[in-house]
A and B are shown apart, each in its own frame.
Chain A
Amino acid sequence: MTSPIEHDDVFEQLLRDSGPDPVPDQGFVDATMALLPPGRRRRRWSLIWPSFATGMGIATWQLHDSALLAPLFQPVTSGLWPHNLSLLLVAVISVLLCFSAALLSDA
């Protein structure tokens, strides 16, 4: 006579049946929800302005002597604000903000 566990099906069924029984909630979810820290998203997005300011600071520090940008800023020192400088600044700020937002979303 063969033992029931020699049959694959019986053995597999026995193993499955011996799996842990699901545990009823009994307040577990509510208790855990009460321990969750406040919104993660606000904290994450609050980083965008310091990151942006740091990026702008580093860029200014690196580029303020650049011969490439000097002609652009020359009129500013003599009290004029050229139209193309405004456009350039808007473009740079937009790109930086989009880049920071994309990096933070990925992170």
Chain B
Amino acid sequence: MSLELDGEARLDLALVQRVLLRDDRHAFAQLMRRHQAKVRAQLRRLCQGDAARADDLAQETFLLVWRKLESFRGDARFSTWLFRIAHHCFLQSHRQLRTTRETSDADKAPTAEPAAAQPLGLQHDLERALQLLPDAERMVLLYHSQLGLSHEETAEILALPLGTVKSHVLRGKARLRDLLQAYQANPPSGVAI
């Protein structure tokens, strides 16, 4: 896959080279500073607001990146590769959590109290509607529509075929619209999520 690198991606690549060639810890710290905000935010979203768990996963992600940096071949953006590792860490932790809570019907329930303040109005409805989507569609929309990544990058992060990502985006959006229209036509009061 050929890749057009913009300034940001080229800077990432230069920092990666410095870490690899000179074992430069300052370059790695700089890489982390550049990306921690988005990675932690995305993990918080995936962990449904559990900030402590998300930060543990973010730390695990960056430690893994330090160990595996040689395997970054530069055929994707560094940020895509990083999100892929973060997503992998999340999935592993999610599976472990599921195993320990197998008896409870925890699939759709939030795993912790949301840390952020509740948004209002349409945004609030959207938050709720997103939680009602099937996991695969919600994940695809999180990366593609909310983080603004391309279909290709989303496919790379989630390890899904490109066609599947595109169809999840279309289906997810259609389902979201239906849910939001239903909310607007008939606003729910005190609906438990």
Contacts and interface: CB of A to CB of B under 8 A. Distances in A.
A16 to B, nearest CB: 6
B55 interface: yes
Interface residues of B, number: 41
A6 to B, nearest CB: 8
B37 A25 contact: yes
Contact of B32 (A32, A39, A107): A32
B154 interface: no
Contacts of B181: 3, 5-6
A41 B69 CA distance: 11
A33 B25 contact: yes
Nearest to A36: B66
A40 B41 contact: no
Contact of A22 (B29, B37, B63, B126): B37
A33 to B, nearest CB: 5
Interface string B169-193: 0000100110011001000000000
A22 B30 CA distance: 17
A19 B126 contact: no
Interface of A: 3-6, 11-12, 14-25, 28-29, 31-33, 35-37, 39-42, 107
16 contacts: A3-B184, A5-B177, A11-B177, A16-B146, A17-B123, A20-B45, A20-B146, A21-B41, A23-B40, A25-B33, A28-B55, A33-B29, A36-B25, A36-B66, A40-B67, A42-B23
Given A14-B122, A32-B59, A41-B23, 10 more contacts: A11-B173, A15-B126, A16-B146, A19-B146, A23-B36, A23-B41, A28-B40, A28-B58, A33-B29, A40-B67
